Amino acid sequence: MRGETAEILIRKMSFDDLPVVLQIDRMSFPLPWPERSYRYELTKNPASSLLVAEIDGIVPNEVIGFIGCWLIADEVHISTIAVHPYYRRQGVGEKLLLTVLGWAVDQGAQIATLEVRVSNHIAIDLYRKQGFIIEGKKTGYYRDNNEDAYQMILEGLPDWYLERFGGDR
């Protein structure tokens, strides 16, 4: 189904998704989350939401990506996002991000924030495309290689959403 207009479904992550999520995580990040972090986020952190992207292709209901966020007061913080390498560059990451931002607007969020490696030009492009700007840098933020992180922010989330989508979701 790669490259075709297969339907991508975004839904809440469940424990059953964890084996695939962990696989995608390991393929995507030098410092993947351990399983216990996902379990903690799914059960113990009331501020946390985790979603997966699912495709009905050769493998039915295959999980091909995920996103996580923390909603605290009027701020939604993107905690993680990854798409299986085979399914990248087909709009899945953007769909995951827009789903979370739309949901956050409904919850009353005013700003969205995240951190990203300064070398991760692909992710920075994805965030810039949605209107995020770089507002700061955290020196030596990533402990595997001491790389700096950009802090990115999207302010005025409700207005941004209205401009981008009008009344539609």
Ligand X SMILES: CC(C)(COP(=O)(O)OP(=O)(O)OC[C@H]1O[C@@H](n2cnc3c(N)ncnc32)[C@H](O)[C@@H]1OP(=O)(O)O)[C@@H](O)C(=O)NCCC(=O)NCCS
Q: Which two tokens stand for residue 103?
A: 């949901």
79 interacts with ligand X by CB under 6 A: no
Smallest gap from Cβ 68 to ligand X, in A, equals 11
Question: For residues 91 and 135, what is the distance between their CA atoms, to the nearest angstrom?
Answer: 26
Q: Are 138 and 71 in contact (CB under 8 A)?
A: no
**Which one of 49, 66, 77, 93 is in contact with ligand X (CB under 6 A)?**
93
Question: For residues 62 and 55, what is the distance between their CA atoms, to the nearest angstrom?
Answer: 5
Site string for ligand X, 118-137 (x = CB under 6 A): --x-xx-xx--x--------
Enumerate residues 17-76 that contact ligand X by CB under 6 A: 28-29
Q: Are 118 and 150 in contact (CB under 8 A)?
A: yes
Q: Which two tokens stand for residue 24?
A: 């995608």
Smallest gap from Cβ 92 to ligand X, in A, equals 4
94 interacts with ligand X by CB under 6 A: yes
91 interacts with ligand X by CB under 6 A: yes
43 or 138: CB nearest ligand X? 138
Q: Which two tokens stand for residue 71?
A: 């909603």
Contacts of 117 (CB under 8 A, 6+ apart): 123, 142, 147, 148, 149, 150
**Which one of 32, 88, 103, 111 is in contact with ligand X (CB under 6 A)?**
88
Q: Which residues are at the interface with ligand X (CB under 6 A)?
A: 28-29, 81-83, 88-94, 116, 120, 122-123, 125-126, 129
